[in-house]
Amino acid sequence: MVENIQRVAQEIEEAQLTSAAELEQFRIAYIGRKGRIADLFNNLKEVAPEQRREVGQQLNTLKNRAQERFDMAQEQLAGAADTAGDTGFDFSLPTVPNTLGTRHPLSLVRREIVRIFERIGFNVAEGPEMEDDWHNFSALNFPENHPAREMQDTFFLSENKDKLLRTHTSTVQVRLMENNQPPLRSIMPGRVYRNEAISARAHMVFHQVEGLYVNTGVSFKDLKETLYYFAKEMFGQGTEIRFRPSFFPFTEPSAEIDITCFICKGEGCNICKGSGWVEIGGSGMVDPAVLQSSGIDPKTYSGFAFGMGIERISMLKYQIKDLRLFTENDVRFLRQFEGVI
* Residue 86: other Cβ atoms inside 10 A: 8
Is residue 252 part of an annotated ligand binding site?
A: yes
Residues in the chain: 341
242, amino acid identity: R
Q: Give the number of C-alpha atoms closer than 13 A to the C-alpha of residue 272, restricted to the C-beta side.
A: 22
What residues are designated binding site? 252
Annotated binding site for Mg(2+): 252
